[in-house]
Amino acid sequence: MKQSDDGLYMPSFQLNQVIRSASVGKVVASANPAFEVGDIVSGFYQVSEYAIVPGGGLRKIDTSVAKPSDYLGLLGMPALTAWSGFTIVGEPNPGDEVFVSAAAGSVGMLVGQLAKIKGCRVVGSAGSDQKVKLLKEEFGFDDAFNYKSETDWDAALARYFPRGIDIYFDNVGGRMLEAVLNNINMKARIPLCGMISQYNQEWKQRFGVRNLLNLVGKCVKMEGFMCGQYLHRMGEFLEEMTGYIKEGKLKYKEDVKEGLDSFLEAFNSMFSGDNLGKPVIYLGPPQ
């Protein structure tokens, strides 16, 4: 929402711009032959009770596979991000040691579960004891820790990864990335999904990772990615993920709010860490 040039796909926010968000809705009127009244669709459109949108920005969703809101998370952009970043960029192998930061977030919770499906050992970090419990008891992480309780992240990672880290799925950047590089294995992979610890700072004030030389000696691949790069693999993604859903291998948690008036609370919770699961706003009773 601020003026910046970080190379991300979203243009800078303009004054009086309508706020948009990933959404699921029901068609109530249509001038497009591809869509009929009653169709359930997903897209990226304005935050409002009703929206007029071009048909090219919508896709019909199959509510027999998953509930409508799952197409915002379990089968939506967070899932495509988790799947493409972990399976394509991360290139997991059975037995890999995997670390996920912001692991209780909408992307991280899926990365951890995909790691287990692929035969890896996975540890996550999160910002509360409640989230740590969620990761271990509901999402099947082998272990997890509260990064706010750990005073020395280097030591914590050495303790949780005595054999080192093969894949680090990075959602936070900053000091955590530096700590990881002190515990990284030869030929490790680091998918760079986000750096939320640094978002609200000008680039000159951001934390400078001091041990990048470790990437050289350990022959590490560190690659940034955007899920939009992999839209051409949407069919493969949906086939694999719906298969896991039908087999009962994936779980997901929503932090539910009701009504448009809750938008700011839900939005800010992603930065404060107050959310427990993916923030989702229902305009009617949750389904």
Domain range list for the chain: 77-228
77-228 belongs to CATH 3.20.130.10: no
Confidence (pTM): 0.90
pLDDT value of position 113: 98
pLDDT value of position 12: 74
Q: Give the distance between the most distant pair of CA atoms in the chain.
A: 60
Burial class of residue 104 in the structure, from the number of CB atoms within 10 Å of its CB (0-12 exposed, 13-18 middle, 19+ buried): buried
Give the mean pLDDT per block of 10 residues along the chain (287 residues).
66 80 94 94 91 87 90 94 98 98 95 98 96 96 97 96 98 94 98 82 78 96 93 94 94 92 92 86 80
The whole-angstrom separation of Cα 151 and Cα 154 is 9
pLDDT value of position 194: 86
DSSP the chain: -----S--SSPPP-TTPPPEEEEEEE-S--SSTT--TT-EEEEEEESSS-----GGGEEE--TTTS-GGGGGTTTSHHHHHHHIIIIIIS---TT-EEEESSTTSTTHHHHHHHHHHTT-EEEEEESSHHHHHHHHHTS--SEEEETTT-S-HHHHHHHH-TT-EEEEEBSS-HHHHHHHHTSEEEEEEEEE---GGGTTS-GGGS---S-THHHHHTT-EEEE--GGGGGGGHHHHHHHHHHHHHTT-----EEEEESGGGHHHHHHHHHHT--SSEEEEESSS--
